[in-house]
Chains A and B, each alone.
Chain A
Amino acid sequence: MKNSPLLDSLKAAGGRIVSGGPIYLSGVSLFALLFIAGSVTGIYSVYFEGSRHAYGTSREIPLAMLISTYTFFVVASTGLCLVSSIGHIFGVRAFQPIAKRAVLLSVITILSGFLVIGLELENPFRLAIYLFTSPNFSSNIWWMGTLYACEVVLLIIEFIFLMLDRHRVSAVVGFFGILFGVAAISNLGGVFAMLNGREFWYGPYLPIFFIASAVMMGCGAIIFFTVLAHRIRGAALEGQVARSLAAVGKLLMLMLAVVLFFTIWRMVSLTAGGTEKLMVLDALVRGPYAFNFWALEIGLGIALPLLLLLGSRGRRIGIMFLSVTLMILGAFFARLQMVVVGQIVPLYWDLGVSEYSRLHTYAPTWQEALVVLAGVGFCGAAFLLGEKIFANFDEAEASAEVKIGKVDGDEP
């Protein structure tokens, strides 16, 4: 029986994975193991043990690490989508060699986010039904969910056409992809920003900040994964790709500065925002969240990466890699911080009653940490497998001939 081309290519991809070498295969196995362990833990936590017992969330702090991890992944996804669009949709040549990988990573990170949120929701299956049959158009979660569902479909189509080198179709689909992505991420900001009862979140800041933060994350993620990909492939990072990463690095520096600027003004504005905001400010600057804020969010997530990037001059790939690794870690804690401190001030603190006289606290449980690692595991394993399955990333990078506006079917 004659094999189909699809089967042939699958066999070839399988062969490339198997012959990836011991380090590569250990990496895939480790991430796959994390994915499985975390998913099993999440399923057990929600459906058997009960999230009330397994997760650190409470009536007082109902949104915590899993929501923030979801936010972390989807912000990265939109960022990757945006950064890839600079090259292959808007035609900036320096950004073209990273486009394919960025689109694939955008799909992978968004799915990682869905995985984590799926293990956080108590009844995710009801969402699949009632999102369509009982929509609430005034709900940001409804819009966010719907827009992200559309975006992931568009991203997949965009990626398929990119891989087929049909760039015009891919660019058109990708353009709608970024429209949906930006709308979705701003709605994710709106999920928090439209809660009038939560002073720290309320206002137009978060939707805008999330977009800036997304571009920052997208830049960081593409540098991080491109460097890793070349290490996996044993290829030197030079030529067009290296120049492309230098360009992404410059954009990242700008976005780090923008995010720093956002953060500074957010903090300054808290000083004049009334007692509740002062309580949050105090908790962040010198209270229980001071380490997270100064060391992780600012130091690890913004200041150090910015300094390292400046020092790397866009050429020293090792330093750039270290910089974005720290930035990604810092961004994870920044998301957690943003979600948690919005809920630490007790709702009736102003009544002066004993029941609401102390700041609420939250500590993640090991189950939550494992669910986060399920997302990380999925992301890592899918990235590693993607690098072998889609072998022509390198060809695209080597030639960097992403022809904008080229008529479909003209490709040789």
Chain B
Amino acid sequence: MTFKPFEDGNPFEASGAISSVDRRAFLKIGLVVTGVFAGGTVVSAVSAAEKIFPRGSFPEKYPYKPHYCMVIRVDRCIGCRRCVDACVAANAVADYGWRTLVLEREEKAAIGQPREFIPILCNQCNNPPCVRACPVRATYKDRKNGIVMMDDKKCIGCKICIAACPYDARYYNEEKGAIDKCDFCFESRLSRGEKSTACSVHCPADVRIFGDLSDPRDRVYHLIHQLQKPVWVLKKESGARPNVFYMKG
């Protein structure tokens, strides 16, 4: 689907204040945050949306069916890194590379928990910079499920996609002779009938929730379409419109 940010008139005219009618209209959209738009910082997708997103920037429906995405409940992560191990085992990740990591932030002055863990992986962006940069379409956005895939036989190994990715999600795998990256376990699991990713299944704290954002019955749909808890994405400013969401709780 086409992203039309200015479909609904000039957003700048309305940037000063958003009327209650607009606000209701916005809520009516049902917070169609399509993978794309939760705020870039720790702000509620709802409360922040009127500040962050111009009117008309919300697509009417989800671009993919299923629209795979992941919600990471970041405060629940205990840093056990079983997700990383499960990923390596499921996808034969090389020992010199990674598809997912758990980053660690130390806040010595914090009361209570002095550490925070932040899992990262390919964000399966709706507007993937890697796909735009690849000269031979060796990496592409799957038209059905939106996963950013690799066609290994085409990869020339120029590594521009590594440089293009705002999420550091790619590395060159010399055994494959191609770039390797997270594909939401499509090759190793989803295509074989499994319903979730290895990292999600092996997480003991239920941090990583994988699902279909286009299905109102799906858990991720409920997590994204609620108004109480803040939802955000990493590096919103890159314009990549990621499909990995972060929240607390």
Using an 8 Å CB-CB cutoff, how does the interface string of B217-249 with A read, 1 for contact, 0 for none?
000000000000000001100111000000000
Which residue among B138, B164, B166 has the maximum number of chain A CB atoms within 10 Å of its CB? B164
- Flag if B155 contacts A195 (CB, 8 Å): no
Near B by CB (< 8 A), chain A positions 346-388 give 347-348, 351-356
- Flag if B120 contacts A348 (CB, 8 Å): yes
- Flag if B167 contacts A343 (CB, 8 Å): no
Complex Cα spacing A51 to B10, Å: 50
Give the residue name and chain of the A residue nearest to B168 (CB).
A347
Given the contacts A121-B158, A197-B240, A139 and B134 also touching, CB distance less than 8 Å: yes
- Flag if A347 contacts B166 (CB, 8 Å): yes
Using an 8 Å CB-CB cutoff, how does the interface string of B66-96 with A read, 1 for contact, 0 for none?
0000000000000000000000000000001
A251 at the interface (CB under 8 A from B): no
Partner of B135, one of A60, A142, A194, A197: A142
B53 at the interface (CB under 8 A from A): no
**A50 surroundings in chain B (CB, below 8 A):** 174
Given the contacts A142-B136, A145-B135, A123 and B104 also touching, CB distance less than 8 Å: no
- Flag if B103 contacts A134 (CB, 8 Å): no
What number of B residues sit within 8 Å (CB to CB) of A? 43
**B153 surroundings in chain A (CB, below 8 A):** 126
A131 at the interface (CB under 8 A from B): yes
B18 at the interface (CB under 8 A from A): no
Total contacts A-B at CB 8 Å = 130
**B160 surroundings in chain A (CB, below 8 A):** 63, 139, 141, 191
**B162 surroundings in chain A (CB, below 8 A):** 59, 62
Give the residue name and chain of the A residue nearest to B160 (CB).
A141
Partner of A196, one of B96, B159, B238: B238
- Flag if B96 contacts A353 (CB, 8 Å): no
Near B by CB (< 8 A), chain A positions 107-137 give 121-124, 126-127, 130-131, 134-136
- Flag if A141 contacts B133 (CB, 8 Å): yes
B97 at the interface (CB under 8 A from A): yes
Complex Cα spacing A59 to B180, Å: 11
- Flag if A126 contacts B155 (CB, 8 Å): yes
Near B by CB (< 8 A), chain A positions 72-124 give 121-124
B154 at the interface (CB under 8 A from A): yes
Give the residue name and chain of the B residue nearest to A343 (CB).
B163
Chain A nearest CB, measured from B87 CB (Å) = 16
Complex Cα spacing A122 to B138, Å: 13
Chain A nearest CB, measured from B156 CB (Å) = 4
Q: List 28 A-B pairs, Cβ < 8 Å.
A: A52-B96, A52-B174, A59-B162, A60-B168, A122-B156, A122-B157, A122-B174, A122-B177, A123-B178, A130-B136, A131-B135, A134-B137, A135-B136, A139-B134, A142-B135, A194-B133, A195-B129, A196-B238, A197-B164, A197-B166, A197-B238, A197-B240, A347-B167, A351-B118, A354-B103, A355-B101, A355-B104, A356-B103
**A residues whose Cβ falls under 8 Å from a Cβ of B:** 50-52, 57, 59-60, 62-63, 121-124, 126-127, 130-131, 134-136, 138-142, 145, 191, 194-198, 343, 347-348, 351-356
